[in-house]
Amino acid sequence: MQQENPSTAQAREAERFRHFIVSVTDYAIYTLSPEGVVITWNAGAQRFKGYREDEIVGRHFSVFYTAEEQARGRPALALEQARTTGKFEDEGWRVRKDGTRFVASVVLDPIWDAAGVLLGFTKITRDVTARRAAQDELHASEERFRLLVQGVTDYAIYMLSPDGVVTNWNEGARRIKGYEAHEVVGRSFAMFYTPEDQAASAPAVALSTALGEGRFEREGWRVRKDGTRFWANVVIDPIRDADGKLLGFAKVTRDITERRLAAEQLERTRESLLQSQKLEAIGKLTGGIAHDFNNLLNVVMNGLDILRTVADRTAQRRAMDAMERAAQRGAALTQQLLAFARQQPLRREAHDVGRVIRSFDAVLHRAVPSRVRLRLRIAPDLPSVLIDPTQFEAALLNLVVNARDAMHDHGDVTIDVDTVRLAAGDVGQLAAGGYVRVAVTDSGTGMAPETVARAVEPFFTTKAVGKGTGLGLSQVYGLAQQCQGDLAITSVMGEGTTVALYFPAIVDADGELANNGHSKAEKVLLVDDQPDVLETAVALFSHLGYDVLSANNGVEALATLRASGDIAILFTDVVMPGIGGIELATIARREFPNVKVILASGYTRSSLQDQSPELDSFDLIPKPYRLSDLIKIVQTVHGDKAGGADQPVSQ
């Protein structure tokens, strides 16, 4: 066979290589002259850049650069760097024929002949827009995650090296543990453990458990920078790379001290809750019984009228007296049942307990025999409390009778009334604050602890059959509860018993205990043309302790202001016929500079200002308003010192 000419073979090989280059579509591969003019063009270049070969060959390659890059001389710099260093690599924005941009990865190599003369350049370009977008998104995602973790303040989130050294620190860690990042990064996380846990190797156990089980979670005491302790929930997770190599640990710590304290408090009150639930259930039952029994008593009372028609007058009288006494006893029992069942409505009003007891003193003395000494020790200047005086008297009488029975008709019964300050939980579930304490103490036989525990249960009694219903103390307990107070019993066998009632004391606007009785109440003038609204306002201000005057219109209000001369507050509706509220307020302020003015309206301030710009100089309360709203605005006009606005401490 005839051997092929070497030059022909080389030409054929060169042609095959040219066809290969021209057909490549994933890369733009083309050559440039030494000056940067496009000489050749392949399919990949056409696909990426949009130019056909006949549109681009003979043009300078700078056409692919952005206007900004051209202005900075970037094309010339690329050629110069490739020529002097042997290669130019870059990644940046390039421009297609249609003006759209793409991110290109570019390699530019010089081409030299055997004599070292520069023939031109080979340029390879790849469209990496998708890769750049993915990288940018990954970076943005990582940055968002970093900012998220760093911004968390309720959890301490930080990383540990494989041997437990802190490598980063978030804001939550700083807030919870008290260390700045530079104070803790590079130190062992064992520093947060108590000395006892460190001695027991708790930090090492935590890491080994996380490695062995894939997760570690515990609760325990941890130590802040200032040495104080907090109860922490801790989670440690091992972090591994794609090949399973341990990179370190992620540690999340949360301060749950409040939750732990709440759980402990809940456990302490569990028995009280069970007792309360028992009383509530029995209360529903006795409520129905009481109403039915009341109906029976009504039948008995009607029977008295019938019996009066019997001819034998002596027999009639004896029968009627007996039935009437039975009806009265039944009515008393009904009252006890209703009070226990929380069905008896209370008329809670502000009262000085000392005055109520003194007015009831004669009845209390008649309840004890001559050989029992009843002593009253009532502290002066008691603050007011919200009670129903009638039911309070019945409860106090119950306690005195119980004390009498416990002493077998001889001994001492003492009623002590004073003011006490309680911390939260000192007595049952009462909140911290000031209370009026009414304690009835006897010198009787006392009660065993198990009897004390059941004393307020309904129907429980230690008295002989026929001597007691077992509802007395439960009725007293029910009264205290309905008044937002509580009852406490202390007793020693053979020495006597003390039953103490606690009622929340009323405080003034400064939070001081309010004395009920010796300062003169401020006068307030209420003005409204709606009778129902006026009546309600009178009731609310009366409850707050003010001396209330009222008027149905502006003319009548002005007459009252001028006649009285010592009104402290003018409380008036805005929209009224004749003299409106704002005009009335303006006249009142001019004639009586010391009068505090409060306006009330169902319209918004902005809608009223359109008609009366002077509204801005007065305080306005929107309708409908509640007692708490009145208290706040009265405090405002008094400069946070309302003269008559008293309110209960704990309700």
Please check whether residue 487 is in contact with residue 499, taking contact to mean a CB–CB distance below 8 angstroms.
yes
Measure Cα distances from 41 to 12, 101, 124 in Å.
20, 20, 11
Q: Grade residue 279 by pLDDT with cuts at 50, 70 and 90.
A: low
Domain ranges of the chain: 6-129, 152-265, 271-340, 349-507, 523-648
- Nearest Cα neighbor of 89 from 101, 77, 105 is 105
**Range with the lowest mean pLDDT among 6-15, 93-102, 354-363, 398-407?**
6-15
- 372-378 and 411-422 as β-strands: parallel, antiparallel, unpaired? parallel
| pLDDT higher at 15 or 365 | 365
From CA 472, how far away is CA 478, in angstroms rounded?
Answer: 10
Q: Which residues, including other chains, have CB under 8 Å from residue 532's CB and lie 6 or more apart? A: none
pLDDT at 449: 85
Please check whether residue 52 is in contact with residue 64, taking contact to mean a CB–CB distance below 8 angstroms.
no
Classify the phi-psi angles of 151: left when phi > 0, otherwise alpha if psi is within -120 to 50, otherwise beta: alpha
From CA 128, how far away is CA 124, in angstroms rounded?
Answer: 13
One-character DSSP codes across 59-92: SBGGGGB-HHHHHTTHHHHHHHHHHHHS-EEEEE
Q: For residue 20, is pLDDT > 70?
A: no
The encoded tokens of residue 625 equal 């308003």
From CA 27, how far away is CA 20, in angstroms rounded?
Answer: 12
H/E run at residue 321: helix 313-340
| CA max distance for the chain | 165
pLDDT digits (tens, 9 = 90+) for 240-251: 988 889 999 988
pLDDT digits (tens, 9 = 90+) for 600-633: 887 777 777 766 777 778 888 887 777 777 877 8
pLDDT at 201: 93
Burial class from Cβ neighbours inside 10 Å (0-12, 13-18, 19+) for residue 536 reads middle
- Model pTM? 0.34
How many other CB atoms sit within 10 Å of the CB of residue 518? 6
pLDDT at 70: 92
pLDDT at 84: 93
Q: For residue 306, is pLDDT > 70?
A: no
pLDDT digits (tens, 9 = 90+) for 424-478: 889 988 888 899 999 999 988 888 888 787 777 655 555 543 344 445 577 788 8
pLDDT at 64: 92
What is the average per-residue pLDDT within 38-51? 89
pLDDT at 429: 85
Q: Grade residue 283 by pLDDT with cuts at 50, 70 and 90.
A: low
What is the average per-residue pLDDT within 160-183? 89
Phi, psi of 195 (to 5 degrees): -55, -35
- 486-492 and 88-95 as β-strands: parallel, antiparallel, unpaired? unpaired
H/E run at residue 351: strand 349-351
- 647-648 and 506-507 as β-strands: parallel, antiparallel, unpaired? antiparallel
Task: State the amino acid at position 70 in one-letter form.
Answer: Q
Collapse the DSSP code of 231 into the 3-class scheme (helix H, G, I; strand E, B; otherwise coil) and give the result: strand
**What is the sign of the dihedral through the CA atoms of 325, 326, 331 and 333?**
positive
Which CATH superfamily hosts domain 523-648? Response regulator (3.40.50.2300)
From CA 241, how far away is CA 292, in angstroms rounded?
Answer: 78
**What is the sign of the dihedral through the CA atoms of 380, 386, 392 and 396?**
negative
The encoded tokens of residue 441 equal 């103490």
Half-sphere exposure of 90 (CA within 13 A, CB side): 17
Q: Which residues, including other chains, have CB under 8 Å from residue 358's CB and lie 6 or more apart? A: 376, 378
Task: State the amino acid at position 277 in one-letter form.
Answer: Q
pLDDT-above-90 percentage for the chain: 29
Classify the phi-psi angles of 628: left when phi > 0, otherwise alpha if psi is within -120 to 50, otherwise beta: alpha
User: 223-255 b/e with 16+ CB inside 10 Å = b?
Assistant: beeeeeebbbbbbbebeeeeeeeeebbbbbbbb
Could you say which of 3.30.365.10, 3.30.450.20, 3.30.2350.10, 3.90.25.10 is the CATH number of the domain covering 152-265? Answer: 3.30.450.20
Q: Which residues, including other chains, have CB under 8 Å from residue 573's CB and lie 6 or more apart? A: 527, 528, 529, 530, 533, 581, 599, 600, 601
User: 353-369 b/e with 16+ CB inside 10 Å = b?
Assistant: bbebbeebeeebeebbe
Q: For every residue of 250-306, which 3-state class applies, written as one string?
A: EEEEEECHHHHHHHHHHHHCHHHHHHHHHHHHHHHHHHHHHHHHHHHHHHHHHHHHH
From CA 473, how far away is CA 399, in angstroms rounded?
Answer: 8
> Domain 6-129 falls in which CATH fold?
Beta-Lactamase (3.30.450)
Instruction: Please say whether the structural domain 349-507 has been given the CATH code 3.40.50.920.
Output: no
Collapse the DSSP code of 616 into the 3-class scheme (helix H, G, I; strand E, B; otherwise coil) and give the result: helix
How many other CB atoms sit within 10 Å of the CB of residue 191? 16
From CA 420, how far away is CA 84, in angstroms rounded?
Answer: 96
From CA 395, how far away is CA 415, in angstroms rounded?
Answer: 13
The encoded tokens of residue 322 equal 């007996």
| pLDDT higher at 514 or 484 | 484
The alpha helices in 152-237, defined as continuous H runs, are: 171-177, 181-184, 195-199, 202-213
Half-sphere exposure of 564 (CA within 13 A, CB side): 23
Measure Cα distances from 513 to 385, 422, 428, 501 in Å.
10, 13, 22, 18
In 83-188, where do the E strands start and end?
88-95, 101-112, 118-127, 156-160
Please check whether residue 60 is in contact with residue 36, taking contact to mean a CB–CB distance below 8 angstroms.
yes
